[in-house]
Structure 1
Amino acid sequence: MTVNTTQNKEDLKEKYANVYEYSNKVLDLISKQDITKDEAEWVTRQTVEGFRDHVNPGFLEYRKSVTKDKQFAAVEWKDSGLNCFMDVNGKEYIDCLGGFGIYNVGHRHPKVMAAVTNQLNRQALHSQDLLDPLRAMLAKIVADITPGDLKYCFFTNSGTETVECSLKLAKMYSDRRTFISTTRAFHGKSLGSLSATAKGVFRKPFLPMIPGFRHVPFGDIEMMRKTMECCALVGEDVAAVILEPIQGEGGVILPPEGYLKQVRELCDQFGALLIFDEVQTGMGRTGKMFCCEHYDVVPDILCLAKAFGGGIMPAGAVVATEEVFKTLFPNPFMHTTTFGGNPLACAAAIAAFNVLIEENLPARSAELGDYILGKLRNAAAEFPELVMEIRGKGLLIGIEFQSDEIGYEVSKAMFDSGVLVAGTLINAKTIRIEPPLTITYKEADRVIVAFKNALVQVRGLAVFN
C-alpha cells in the first residue's frame, strides 16, 4: 500500500491550521531577545488567558494575593545578568527567590550555558542502552566531592524523584518498612515523598499515604529516641530517618546544637539509615558545599536536586554508600528513569560543580549571607511589631513576621520595588531570601533598602494600626 505523504501533510495542516498558525507565532517570539510593546501585550494576554483556561486559574488567584494592582499579570520573559530577570514589559527584578534554590551559580552562567550548548550540538539525549560517558564522569565528580564514603549515584530530574529513590533504596537495603520524618518537613509531593512531607494541607486529599511513616518534632532528640525504641519494641524497626539538615520550606529552621550528630548516633544504635534531603541546602547554599558539613555528619544517603542542574537543566542525584547502593547491583533495572542523567543534564551539573569550585561560591554564600543577615536584622530592629525573627545560614535566610498578613504585604511591597521573594509552605509568615550565590554587594544593598521601605510602608497601613 502506497502512502501519499504529501496529501497527509496537507490534511494535517488543514486539520490543525489554528494550532499550526499559533505555534508559528509563538516560535517567532521565542526567537527574539526583545519584543515590541504590542507583542508584550499579546504575550501577557495569552499568558493570563492560558493560565485561566488551560493551566490552573488558582495560580492567578495566588498571584493576586501576593502582588499589587495588576502586578499579578507580570509575565517573566528573560534573564538579566546572573542575579536578575525581566518581565515582558522590561521591568527588572533582583531574584531573591532563586527558583526556590535553583540558581546557585546564577541565571544562565556562561560556563553552564556553554557546556549544555556544546553537548546539545553533539547529542541531546541518549539511546538508553549504550553506556553514556557524561553520567559516569558526573558520578565520579559527585563521589569525589560529597563527604565521607558516599560513592554511588542515581540521577533524577527533580527533588521529589530523588527522595522517592532514596526511600526505595532504604527499603531494598533491609526488610524494614518504617520511616521517621519530622514535623514541618518538606520532601516533595509525589506519593512516596509526600508521605515523608509533613504539611497537612498537601497530604489530606491523598490519604492514606504510603504506610510506615511517622513524624516527630524537628529538633526533639528525645522524641526521636522514644519513637525508635517503640518501633523496635513492636517489631516495626526503623528503616531510615529522613531529614533536611536545615528545614527550608518549613520556615528556614536551623537544628539545635548537636541534634544532627545525635540523630546519626541513634541511627547507628538502632540499625537505621540516615537520609539527608539536601535538595535545597546543597550545592553551596548554606556556606559549605553541603549543609551537613557544617555539623560534621555524614548520611548513608544524600539527596540533591534544584541547583544540581546549574540553573539550566532539571537534574538531581541520589548519592549513597556502596553498602546501601549495592542492593541495586544484581538488577540495575529495579529503579530507572528515562530522562534522569541525560547528557544535557549531566553537562550542566558538571559545569555547575566546576563553577562552584572556581568561583569559591560556598565561601561567597557564607560571606554575603552574614552581610545580608546582619543588615536585615538591623533594619528589622525598628519594627518589632512586624518582624518576629530573622534567621539563616549562608544565603538561605528566613524572615518570620508576626502574621501571614504582614508577610504578604511586605512581599507585595518588595515585588513592587523590583525584588522577588516568596513565602514558605504556602504561607507568608516566613518569607525566604534565597538569591543566587553570585549576588553582588550592590544588589544585596538594594534588597535591604527594599525590605526596610516595605516595613515602613506596611507599618503605615491602617489594617496594622
Structure 2
Amino acid sequence: MKTDFFKYQAQTSPQPLAMKIGRAEGSYIYDTNNKPYLDFVAGISACTLGHKHPKIINAIKTQADCYLHVMVYGEYIQKPAVELTKLLAQHLPKKLEKTYLTNSGTEAVEGALKLAKRATGRSQIIAAKHAYHGNTMGAMSVMGYEERKKAFRPLLPDVQFITYNNTNELDKITTKTACVILETIQGGAGFIVPSKDYLLKVQERCHEVGALLILDEIQSGIGRTGKLFGFQNYNCTPDILVSGKGLGGGMPIGAFTASAKLMDLLQDHPKLGHITTFGGHPVIAASALATLKEVIESNLITQTLEKEKLFRKHLVHPLITEIRGKGLMLAALTPSAEITNEVILRCQDAGLILFWLLFEPKAIRITPPLTISNKEIVKGCSIIIDILNRISPSQDTPTT
C-alpha cells in the first residue's frame, strides 16, 4: 500500500509521514499493525469530538439511510442543513443570522470575499502579513506569505497587507476597502492571539469607512478557545464569520455567516451569486449538527481553558521557550526548527502525534480533540518532555 500511495496519490510535501492508518477511536489513531498513537492534532483541529464519536457516527448512518445528495445547494429543503444553520444562528450575535454551507474552509473564504465585494462595490482587500486562509486562488491572494504563493501568480489584484496587532497601520483601511480579512487567532504564523482591543479597533475602523470585517475562525471556532467562536473572547463581532474544520466533526465542511441583508445579495443581480453542488451535503450537515449540539450542550467549551492550564503546567522544559495560543489551540516553541522537527518525528515513533505550523518552523502544533481526557494530556506531555530530555545539548541553540 505504501508503494501505491507514492505512485498513485499526488503528494504535497517531499517527505510525507506515510503512516498506514488502520482505525481511529477517541483520542487515538491506530496503524495497520494496531499500534496506538495518542492524537494531539485532531486532523488539524478538525476532529472536535475525537475519532468515531458515537453521536457523530449515529447521525451519519441515520442520514445515509434517508438520502445522500439530491440537488445543488439551496434548492431543496433538507433537514440537516436547516437545523445546522438555525442552531448556529441561535448561538451567534444577532447580526450573524444566515449561513451559507460549503465543502471546505477555503471555499467559505472565497464566498466571503465575493460577498464583501458584492456588498460594497469595492475591490480592495486588506489582509494580514503571515495570514493563512486557504489555498484556492482567492484565498491564496490574501495569504500573507509570498514564498508560498509566488509560483502561482498572478493572483487577485488590489490586495494589501497590514501587520497583525499593529494599530498604527489601520489607516490603510480606507473608503476604497471592500473588506479586511483576519484570522481571529493567527494559525500558520504561530498561534498569535490578538492584543487587547486590536480586533475591536479594526472593527471600528471598518465601520468608519464602510468596509466589512471578515474573521476567519476555521481553526479557532467550535469551542476550541473557551468560547464557541474565538471572536467572542475579544469584544468584537465580524460582519462575516468564516468557519470550517472542527464544525464537521471529521467530515469536510466550511461555512460563512452574515446578516440576512448581506447574504440575500447572493440571490440576485446576478442570480446564483455563489453556487456549489455539494455544499450543505445532508450527511456532512448531519455530522456537523451532531458535533455542534454536543459542543454546545456539554461542558467541553469550559473545559478547554482548564485543559490549557494542564498543558501549560506539564510542558515546562528548557527547550520550550514559549507556549502560544488559547484553550486547545496551542503551539509550543523550541529554540530552533531542527529541535522542533526532531520532537515531532521522535514523538510519532513514541506513539504521540504532533505536527508543524505553516510559517513558524519552531512551533509544535498542539490541537487535540476537545474530548481529550486530563490523563491523556498528562501522558502526551510526558512523552514530549522525555523526548526533549533526550535531545543533545548541542542542539540547544537558536538558528538564525
TM range (shorter): over 0.9
User: Where does structure 1 lack aligned partners over 5 or more consecutive residues?
Assistant: 1-45, 64-71
Partner of 1:6: none
CA distance in 2, matches of 1:57, 1:107: 24
Q: How many residues align?
A: 394
CA distance in 1, matches of 2:361, 2:39: 17
Partner of 1:69: none
CA distance in 2, matches of 1:57, 1:49: 13
How large is the RMSD of aligned CA atoms in angstroms? 1.6
User: Structure 1 339/115 Cα, relative in aligned 2: closer, same or farther at 3 Å?
Assistant: same
TM-score normalised per structure 1: 0.82
Partner of 1:23: none
CA distance in 1, matches of 2:276, 2:18: 36
Pairing partner for 1:428 from 343, 361, 385: 361
Aligned partner letter, 1:194: M
Higher relative contact order (CA 8 A, sep 6+): 2
Q: Does 1:284 align with 2:223?
A: yes
Give the Å deviation of 1:148. 3.6
Pairing partner for 2:310 from 355, 371, 377: 371
Partner of 2:338: 405
CA distance in 1, matches of 2:313, 2:213: 33
| Equivalent residues of 1:126, 1:132 under 8 A apart | no
The percent identity for this pair of structures is 34
- Aligned residue for 1:397, secondary structure, equals strand
- Aligned residue for 1:285, secondary structure, equals coil
Pairing partner for 1:446 from 375, 379, 387: 379
TM-score normalised per structure 2: 0.94
User: Structure 1 197/408 Cα, relative in aligned 2: closer, same or farther at 3 Å?
Assistant: same
- Higher helix fraction (1 or 2): 1
- Aligned residue for 2:279, secondary structure, equals coil
Pairing partner for 2:248 from 288, 309, 318: 309
User: Structure 1 426/256 Cα, relative in aligned 2: closer, same or farther at 3 Å?
Assistant: closer
- Aligned residue for 1:239, secondary structure, equals strand
Q: Does 1:159 align with 2:88?
A: no
User: Structure 1 372/463 Cα, relative in aligned 2: closer, same or farther at 3 Å?
Assistant: closer
Give the Å deviation of 1:136. 2.0
User: Structure 1 73/211 Cα, relative in aligned 2: closer, same or farther at 3 Å?
Assistant: closer
Pairing partner for 1:182 from 113, 128, 138: 128
| Equivalent residues of 1:283, 1:308 under 8 A apart | yes
- Aligned residue for 1:103, secondary structure, equals coil
Pairing partner for 2:45 from 82, 95, 101: 101
User: Structure 1 446/428 Cα, relative in aligned 2: closer, same or farther at 3 Å?
Assistant: farther
CA distance in 1, matches of 2:294, 2:102: 21
Partner of 1:54: 8
Aligned partner letter, 1:276: L
| Equivalent residues of 2:314, 2:382 under 8 A apart | no
| Equivalent residues of 1:422, 1:431 under 8 A apart | yes
User: Where does structure 2 lack aligned partners over 5 or more consecutive residues?
Assistant: none
Pairing partner for 2:214 from 275, 292, 307: 275
Pairing partner for 2:84 from 138, 144, 151: 138
| Equivalent residues of 2:267, 2:273 under 8 A apart | no
How far does the alpha carbon of each residue in 1:340-363 deviate from its partner, in whole angstroms, 9 at most, with x for none?
Answer: 001101111111111102222111
Partner of 1:220: 166
Aligned partner letter, 1:282: G
- Aligned residue for 2:324, secondary structure, equals strand
